[in-house]
Structure 1
Amino acid sequence: MGAGAADRRRPHAVTTGRPTRRAALAMIAPALVARAARAQPGYPSRPVRIVVPFPAGGGADLVARSVAEGLAAAMGQGFVVDNRPGGSGNIGTELVARAPADGYTLLLIGPNHVINPFLFGRVPFDPVADFRPVSLLTSASYVLVAGPALPEGGFKALVARARAEPGRVSYGSAGNGSAGHLGMELIKQSLGLDMVHVPYRGSSAMLTDLMGGRIVAGFDNILSAAPHIAAGRLRALAVSGRARAPALPEVPTIAESGLPGFDVTVWQGLLAPAGTDGAIIETLRDAVRAALLLPTLEARLASLGVEAIGSDPDGFGRFIAAELERWSEVVRRSGAKAD
């Protein structure tokens, strides 16, 4: 889930800019790789495994495979994606928590890492103590969409209807405890709304019912919602990040639309097992920075609707701690439990 409440600061971002600036940044990449090599000579000497605790083909997997290719190009060594789905991400996460701390097994994490400990009540790992942060990788907004059950208006129209019909306005999500569910719970809690949550098993079924008018609104990722928005089957009410989304530049943010400071995004980052040598962490950090500056990786991530971020390990650690604090309260107040 999100890259920031109002009182949080996002780690330093590697942003794209004018072509001349991008070219200048790209020139830094070889120096970063050279510095990484000096930090830990000989690492990596064999392929590095990136465990993705979700099935192949999903958003997290696509980001992981794109970043793995960039890391391989930056480091001259293979980075292999290993999908270990199950337990809403808990199975693959536990695997990495118990893996040797030698830098050859890494974990791709996202919002599930900071939500599951509260959603499940107990998980077989400590989301902080069992890992060392490497870098935040990417971030992307969700889009709040409505179908024919809300025939006109934007975010304010949804809020007005929810106030006028407490307990009768429904919203869908891809599942109990999903990003769409908890993002809407945060809106409800912030504005004191009474809305009905309708959980689905995946966003496809949710979008079908939304287009059919069986529910009023729902959060979804921009990539899957955009074709329906373009075809007029859905209306984009607002995007969830702190800035407008490049894919939907005409759609305002929720913060612009009446909820200042609202900032919820889907993000991905890299962790290593606790005990991993600091020099290896530095090597990986510099390799991530170099990879994210590659024009090919930048273009691929943009095609997935995500923004390259990049951060130092300490900044990513603070980000994780803040996310844990924020979502623990949202989950507690919502009463959400894992299915």
Structure 2
Amino acid sequence: MQRRQLAARLALLVFATTGCAWAGNGPGGYPDKPVRLVVPFLAGGATDLMARSLAQKLSLELGQQVIVDNRAGAGGALGAEAVANAPRDGYTLLYSTMGVLTINPSLYANLKYDPATSFAPIAMTHVTSNLLVVNPEVPARSVAELVALARNKPGELTFSSAGNGTSSHLSGELFKSMAKVNLLHVPYKGTAAAVGDLLAGRVTMTFDTTSNFVEQVKAGKLRPLAVTSRSRSPVLPDVPSMSELPGFADFDVSLWSGMLAPAGTPEALVKYLNQAAVKVMSEPAMKTYLAPYSIEPLHSSPQEFAGVIEKDRRKWAAVVKSAGVRVD
């Protein structure tokens, strides 16, 4: 979607709000100045879109501007590290994807933050999925046919990813393991290049965020075979989830995101921010805004969020170890 269209949607989202809190209504008069929400990826992608929609609504709820600060690098590790070392006063927060908190610990040998001890989880806020798509020239119209093709041509089919250790890469590795097929991984520096070669027919398939493919799928430029979450995408309701398919009952790559503070942030502030996040993510306007991108609003308690982080950290550690993936 073009930037002007995105800006218009964000404006509509803001005007659709039902109310606005007054600044300083939190513990100790918090917040009495702008709050910085660090996004550890470049502007313009799905993560940035989700973070900015959250920041717009939180600004209204908190009565102070929530400023998105994009700090990309090292698969999100640089931005996460900056927040881990920030003051524990609620004015520097992290908007994190699943990968930063649950995949990076197994990929990077010298990671300078620990998801279990460096942050105070506030709330989960969004969830989406990856989509398995193939070039239309590939003679497979279902996952079963793709698996059969891969078994007949071991090592010949390729899957692109946005880079080593990304969720698109590990989705492919999980697929390889569960399907018991030999696919060649072709890593790129970002989604755009990976999708570009898929469209050109230079690679067979890819897994990446569903919202990145909706327009190409509807135009017939790519063929969707399955979504990686347990629920089907409301934007592509005829595309099955992987877990519906024989042999893939345990396949689940749900790409959640959420907000965290540095560890040691006062519990009262964490609770206040959780209540604000739950309120804005529960608004009908948020659901309406996110629906075209195949993104669902979520909310959780800090404790629930911490439990999901630990569960998924163990899951992806096993996948990374099995695939032998390492990023220096």
CA contact (8 A) 1:50 1:81 kept: yes
CA distance in 1, matches of 2:289, 2:64: 20
Question: In the alignment, does 2:286 pair up with 1:297?
Answer: yes
Q: State the AA in 2 paired with 1:153.
A: R
CA distance in 2, matches of 1:37, 1:282: 13
CA distance in 1, matches of 2:110, 2:134: 35
Q: % of aligned pairs identical?
A: 40
Higher RCO (CA-CA < 8 Å; seq separation 6+): 1
Secondary structure of 1:337 counterpart: coil
CA contact (8 A) 1:70 1:294 kept: no
> Higher mean Cα deviation, 275-284 or 209-218?
209-218
The corresponding residue for 1:243 is 231
Q: State the AA in 2 paired with 1:213.
A: G
> Superposed, which structure 2 residues align to 1:89-108 within 5 Å?
89-108=76-95
Q: State how many pairs are aligned.
A: 309
CA contact (8 A) 1:149 1:215 kept: no
Shift of 1:163: 1.9
Question: In the alignment, does 2:53 pair up with 1:66?
Answer: yes
CA distance in 2, matches of 1:160, 1:133: 43
CA distance in 2, matches of 1:115, 1:122: 14
The corresponding residue for 2:167 is 179
The corresponding residue for 2:155 is 167
Q: State the AA in 1 paired with 2:319.
A: V
CA distance in 2, matches of 1:187, 1:324: 18
Shift of 1:301: 2.3
Q: State the AA in 1 paired with 2:71.
A: R
Of the three residues 36, 40, 44, the one matched with 1:57 is: 44
Distance verdict in 2 for CA 1:56–1:261, change over 3 Å = same
CA distance in 1, matches of 2:258, 2:76: 14
The corresponding residue for 1:190 is 178
Question: In the alignment, does 2:56 pair up with 1:76?
Answer: no
Of the three residues 87, 94, 106, the one matched with 1:118 is: 106
Of the three residues 185, 204, 213, the one matched with 2:201 is: 213
Shift of 1:102: 0.8
CA distance in 2, matches of 1:80, 1:220: 27
> Higher mean Cα deviation, 309-318 or 163-172?
163-172
CA distance in 1, matches of 2:238, 2:181: 26
CA distance in 2, matches of 1:191, 1:305: 26
CA contact (8 A) 2:235 2:292 kept: no
Question: In the alignment, does 2:129 pair up with 1:141?
Answer: yes
Secondary structure of 2:244 counterpart: coil
CA contact (8 A) 2:235 2:291 kept: no
Shift of 1:59: 1.6
Long gaps (5+) in structure 2? 1-16
Shift of 1:41: 4.6
Shift of 1:208: 2.5
The corresponding residue for 1:317 is 306
CA deviations on 1:209-233 (whole Å, 9 max, x unpaired) are 2223222111122222111111111
Question: In the alignment, does 2:313 pair up with 1:328?
Answer: no
Shift of 1:147: 0.8
Shift of 1:203: 2.0
Question: In the alignment, does 2:46 pair up with 1:42?
Answer: no
Q: State the AA in 1 paired with 2:171.
A: G
CA contact (8 A) 2:46 2:211 kept: no
CA contact (8 A) 1:149 1:214 kept: no
Question: In the alignment, does 2:116 pair up with 1:128?
Answer: yes
CA distance in 2, matches of 1:159, 1:152: 9
Q: State the AA in 2 paired with 1:66.
A: S
Secondary structure of 1:255 counterpart: helix
Of the three residues 272, 295, 310, the one matched with 2:261 is: 272
The corresponding residue for 1:6 is none
Q: State the AA in 2 paired with 1:278.
A: E
Secondary structure of 1:115 counterpart: helix
CA deviations on 1:96-117 (whole Å, 9 max, x unpaired) are 1111101111001112221112
The corresponding residue for 1:22 is none
Shift of 1:149: 4.3
CA contact (8 A) 2:282 2:299 kept: no
The corresponding residue for 2:9 is none
Q: State the AA in 1 paired with 2:313.
A: L
Shift of 1:37: 4.7
Long gaps (5+) in structure 1? 1-25
> Higher mean Cα deviation, 277-286 or 71-80?
71-80
CA distance in 2, matches of 1:178, 1:242: 20
